[in-house]
Structures are given as structure tokens and as C-alpha cells.
Chain A
Amino acid sequence: GAGVSQSPSNKVTEKGKDVELRCDPISGHTALYWYRQSLGQGLEFLIYFQGNSAPDKSGLPSDRFSAERTGGSVSTLTIQRTQQEDSAVYLCASSGSLNGEQYFGPGTRLTVT
């Protein structure tokens, strides 16, 4: 496809369970970002991957959150021991340039019950 894709589109999980969210960036884009969109906090940066460099994890809210990017393409965001406050829409974006123009996927809506 031409755009950023994310899966699943919706995920409902019980408190305490682990979840994995997937992002397929635009082909050829070297930069990949994860953001979280919630009612209380707005849009927050989580983590950034650029090529083979070490990721910028400075936005991750706790050590329950982690992400990896395999082969410089697909990325997985993992949330362990989910809490209700993790409920949000998780957005992935990719970029082919260094000036910050990012293209967003449709998001994964996570609901923790």
C-alpha cells in the first residue's frame, strides 16, 4: 500500500494483559515514530527510530512500554501489564526526510477494561 498501515485497528484487553501493536511504514521511509492520542493528554510522542541508530525512547511513559523495529521496516509497540490509563489511540508515523514531515497511519484504538 501507499500509506502507513497499523494493526489491529481496535483492541480490547483486560487489565494486566500484554498487547502488541503493529506498524508498517511507507516503503523507503527511514524514520518511524509512535505517538499516543488520549483525551486527557492530547497527542504525545512515545518513541522514534531512525535507520540503524539507537531509538529515542524518551517519550515512553513507563518501563511497561517497549518497541522494536525489525529490518528497518515494520515496528511493534508492546505494552506489558496494561493499565486502564493506557487506553488511547496509538498512532504510527513515518518520514523520509529530516525536517519533520511525517505521514500518519490510521491508528490502533486500545481499550483496557
Chain B
Amino acid sequence: GDSVTQMEGPVTLSEEAFLTINCTYTATGYPSLFWYVQYPGEGLQLLLKATKADDKGSNKGFEATYRKETTSFHLEKGSVQVSDSAVYFCALSVQGNNRLAFGKGNQVVVIP
């Protein structure tokens, strides 16, 4: 079945550090890939997406590139801020299936 794997454990880093959150996927079809973010006390928000291989999604300084050869969609940001502290979820959907399959999420804590 379709599934998403995110790196284990929370991520704690200092302001202005480089952030990477790994995401790999398994899909029966040709998926669209997403990163969702959940800020403290708020609902899930779409951060960025990519719908085909080699596409790069970007938003708010975050980027992720759809790598079909490695079935990955790693999230990166060059210089994090305290306001980026949140839980980040990688997800996929396969056309015709429509549901989102989510990874377990990663808590990111940015300290000043």
C-alpha cells in the first residue's frame, strides 16, 4: 500500500541553522507529494507540494524536490527562525485514490 516514512524523533536546532527533514515514500501509482505544517494550537496547513518528478515545491523559504529515483521528498530550509517551530508532516496522494497518506510527523523546535 501507499506509505510515507519520516525520520525518527524531534529536531532541535538553533535560529539561523539549516534544517533538513527526510521523507521517503512507497506508492502503487504516481503520487503527488506534500508537506503540511501544524503550528502550536493550530490546524494543518499545506506548506508546499510537487505533482511530478523533478518538480520543486517552495514556500516561506522551505523547499522540497520530488525525486522519483530515490522516492524521496526531503524538506529543507536554509535559515530557520523561532517562528518555524511546529510539527511537519510529509504526505502523498495517488490519483484515483485521493486520500492522503501521512508520515508520523517531526516536531521541530528552534531555539533563539
Contact = CB atoms under 8 A, between A and B. Distances in A.
B46 interface: yes
The residue in B43, B103, B105 that gathers the most chain A C-beta atoms within 10 A of its C-beta is B43
Given A100-B32, A100-B34, A56 B43 contact: no
24 contacts: A31-B98, A33-B98, A33-B99, A43-B89, A43-B91, A45-B99, A56-B99, A91-B43, A91-B44, A93-B100, A98-B98, A99-B32, A99-B93, A99-B95, A100-B32, A100-B34, A100-B92, A101-B46, A102-B46, A104-B36, A104-B43, A104-B45, A106-B43, A107-B43
Contacts of A16: none
Interface string B70-100: 0000000000000000000101110100111
Nearest to B49: A101
Nearest to A102: B100
Secondary structure at the A interface, as helix, strand, loop or mixed, is: strand
Interface of A: 31, 33, 35, 42-43, 45, 48, 50, 56, 59, 91, 93, 95, 98-107
Interface residues on B, range: 20 to 34
Secondary structure at the B interface, as helix, strand, loop or mixed, is: strand
Contacts of A98: 95, 98
Given A42-B104, A42-B105, A100 B98 contact: yes
Interface of B: 32, 34, 36, 42-46, 49, 51, 89, 91-93, 95, 98-105
Shortest 8 CB-CB contacts between residues of A and residues of B: A100-B93, A43-B102, A104-B44, A45-B99, A106-B43, A42-B104, A100-B32, A104-B43
Contacts of B99: 33, 45, 48, 56, 59
A50 B98 contact: yes
B94 to A, nearest CB: 8
A103 B42 CA distance: 13
Contacts of B91: 43
B52 to A, nearest CB: 10
